[in-house]
Amino acid sequence: MHPELTWTTTGRWIELAATFCAMLLVVWLIDRYRRRRGTGPAEIVAVAITALWCLIGSATGPLGAMATLGEVARNLAWMMVVLTLFARDHRDETVAPVRPVLAALALVELFQIVLVVLSARFAAIPAAVTMIGQLSDLFHLLTATGALVLVHNLYVGAVGGQREAVRWNSFALALIWGYDLNFYTIAYLGRVMPDELVALRGLAQIVALLMLGLASRSGASLRLSPSRAVAFQSLMLLIIGVYLIVMVGAAQSVAWAGGNSTALVQLGFAFVTTVAIIALVPSARLRRWLNVVLAKHFFQHRYDYRAEWLRFARTIGRADANAQPLHERVVQAVADITDSARGVLLVPGEGGALVLAARWQWPTLDVPALAMDARTVAFLERSGFIVDFDQVRAGTDHAGETALVPQWMVAEDSIWVLVPLLHFERLVGLVVLGRPALVRELDWEDFDLLRVVGQQLASFLAEQGAHAALLEASRFDEFNRRIAFVMHDIKNLASQLALLARNAERHADNPEFRRDMLVTLRNSADKLNALIARLSRYGAGAVPASEPVDAAQVIRALAARCNAALGRDQVFAADMQPCTVLAARDTLDQVLSHLVQNALDATEGTLGVFIHCRSAGDHGVIEVVDSGSGMSADFVRNRLFTPFVSTKPGGFGIGAFEARELIHAMRGRLEVESREGLGSRFTIRLPQAAHARTDPARTTSVLKAVAQ
């Protein structure tokens, strides 16, 4: 017997068996439909059309015109089944692209009718028949690829407990279109229909019909909830399938064009498309665009809240050695939600104004020393308003709430959103986000999620602040214990001096006693000086009363004294304008001496330290500027003015703290601007004597309290 005849006969018998199985399944489904067991009319019609198609293939052959038309009807019927499976949970309405994709696939399938007519019209032209056959196979490939992607999304999008309802339906459809995909791929590439695959095609239909019978027994309801990752993967699979089909079609078109340059054109086309794919696939901007499209069209909500909350917990809860400081992690946690690549954190400083606390991947943003005034902070505390700067710059803030936003933020085009962090209606921080790679308009869901995350982050910051306060209190307690030891030494010295005074009354005329007394006094003085050095400037001396002080004169005297001690000119009194402030001269000199000494310690080599003074309204301004190593925002915020934290070996860490408190006692303010690697600027603002309205005696008592 001829092998081809054997396969043809076997294939027809298998098609006939598939017809019989399909007819039995139709009867079974009709019975279940009448008893309302969950079977829908779409499944019944699809199985009936499949039975008709198998019967036509058995009678006239699987490759005839009637069989092709029957296959078109079968594919359209099963597409309707896919739509009904999506529609059981109204996914055909909420997942917008389902219906358009199915409509596009149905349109491609209907082109087969046109190809059948053209094939009959040009039957006498073998080349035309071959080209039409190739187009038909290509359209079949496109239909099978798109249908498989939809089936994949249908199955994996169902929640775990309800996948049973769609499992066998999905397996059956995947088998039908998966077999077609391989069948037509081989037919297209080999330009011939393999008899073995033609014969076994009916067997695949029988297995699929058995799976559909199993599906009809599980009438559980279906509720689909595909994740963002699943939808993204499905879309990528669809894009890859379309790309492959376009590539095959383009290559075949070049081959049909013929000519001597066919191979060269094919090679050039493959090179260009490969370069394009390599350039686009790794693109973060493309991935963000695809995610936005998916979130906008496939889901009722923009965010996968479970995934967002897990990521938030991982970012904030990191405690390993390589973890960023908490303030930077706060910025990152907010930026991850909106896909922003950078941001900064502002926290309340002196007087309620906001100052820079941390930067996250944004070293170039120029933030003023006072980033936001207390009036704007009070507004944000009352309203919890999230500022979208695109609306501010476009003038679409209808209520005019953003009129209080600092102008330096409006002028900086890279600033996108402000997110207040509120804890019990108190602003504990403000996150400034930079523009993401793909800018989009924020909606109500963005604002709600940012508010909730902001409240949670505010709790973390408030907890850290409370912990820092407890730690500072414990350090003061430790300092008090140290003072007890110092007082013990002082008591011993006092006893020694008292004994010396009593003996002097009796032995003052003895020359040897006087020599010993001088040695004892010298030793006692040395010990007292050592104690005073250990205590820094925490002595019991009186602080002079506040009075009008020529700041320029104090600065020049300090510069001369420092240069004489250094043996070279390194401290410069520059840009000295007339400036008379209300202060205690000696206290101001102490503060400036400390700031200048710190600036010298931070400055390498012979780089200079500059001191300026000027009048600004009702305040006098003194600036100490260096070009040293600078300080990070985290150090300035959390360590610079923290008592008993020192970077110097053996230091008490109270110099900067004392300087700030002494300035406060003189009704002034100490501000700091610093950038790592560039240097620092310390600015002292004191009331001018001509504008001062204060009680000198009260200021003196405050200074004494601070010194003691």
pLDDT at 219: 46
Identify the DSSP state of 385. Answer: P
Q: How far apart are CA 230 and CA 233, in angstroms?
A: 5
The mean pLDDT values, 10 residues at a time, for the chain of 708 residues are: 56 77 80 69 83 79 76 84 72 62 82 82 77 79 82 67 67 82 77 70 80 64 49 58 60 54 56 56 54 53 77 85 86 92 91 90 90 90 89 71 82 93 93 88 86 93 87 78 67 73 78 77 75 54 70 91 77 90 88 88 82 92 91 84 67 73 89 89 90 49 44
Whether the CB-CB separation of 192 and 137 falls below 8 Å is answered with no
pLDDT at 30: 80
List the chain domain ranges: 3-226, 229-297, 305-459, 470-534, 547-707
pLDDT at 4: 45
pLDDT at 237: 59
CATH 1.10.3470 fits 3-226, yes or no: no
pLDDT at 543: 47
Q: What is the DSSP secondary-structure string of 658-704? A: HHHHHHHHTT-EEEEEEETTTEEEEEEEEEBTTT----HHHHHHHHH
Q: Which CATH architecture has domain 305-459?
A: 2-Layer Sandwich (3.30)
pLDDT at 106: 83
Query: Of 313, 345, 311, 352, whose CA–CA distance to 331 is shortest?
Result: 345
Q: How far apart are CA 340 and CA 389, in angstroms?
A: 14
Q: How far apart are CA 239 and CA 241, in angstroms?
A: 5
How many helices (H) and strands (E) would you count in the chain? Answer: 23, 12
Q: How far apart are CA 342 and CA 116, in angstroms?
A: 59
Fold of 547-707: Heat Shock Protein 90 (3.30.565)
pLDDT at 702: 42
Total-model pTM: 0.48
pLDDT at 138: 81
pLDDT at 322: 76
Helix, strand or coil for residue 344? strand
Whether the CB-CB separation of 460 and 316 falls below 8 Å is answered with yes
